[in-house]
Amino acid sequence: MTETAATTVHHDERLVRKGFLTRLLTRPDIGAFLGALAVFFAFSYFARGVDWLTDPAIAAGWADQASQYGIVAVPVALLMIGGEFDLSAGVMIGSSGLLLGYLATHAHMNIWPAMALVLLFGLVVGFLNGITVIKTKLPSFIVTLATFFVLQGVNAAGTLKLTGTTAIQNIDSAAGFDSAHRFFASQLTQYDYPVKVLWWIGLTIVGAWLLAKTRFGNWTYSAGGDPNAARNVGVPVARTKITLFMMTSTTAALMGIIEALELRSMQSREGVGLEFIFIICAVVGGCLLTGGFGSVIGTFFGAAMLGMVQLGIVDSQWDSNWTYTFQGAILFAAVLLNTFVRSRVERAR
Binding positions for another protein, rule: CB under 8 A: 14-15, 17-18, 21-22, 25-26, 209, 212-215, 217-219, 221-222, 225-226, 228-230, 232-235, 288, 292-293, 342, 345-346, 348-349
The residue among 125 and 211 lying less far from another protein, judged by its C-beta, is 211
C-beta of 349: minimal distance to another protein in Å? 6
The residue among 21 and 142 lying less far from another protein, judged by its C-beta, is 21
C-beta of 214: minimal distance to another protein in Å? 5
The residue among 54 and 232 lying less far from another protein, judged by its C-beta, is 232
The residue among 183 and 216 lying less far from another protein, judged by its C-beta, is 216
Cα angle for residues 181, 274, 340 (degrees, 5° grid):
130
217 in Cβ contact with 210 (< 8 Å) = yes
CA distances to 170, 279, 322 from 220, in Å: 41, 17, 36
The residue among 53 and 212 lying less far from another protein, judged by its C-beta, is 212
3-state helix, strand, coil in the chain (%, to 5): 75, 0, 20
C-beta of 26: minimal distance to another protein in Å? 6
Residue 266's SS3 state is strand
Sign of CA dihedral 72, 139, 130, 147: positive
C-beta of 233: minimal distance to another protein in Å? 4
Q: How far apart are CA 309 and CA 307, in angstroms?
A: 5
309 in Cβ contact with 87 (< 8 Å) = no
C-beta of 343: minimal distance to another protein in Å? 11
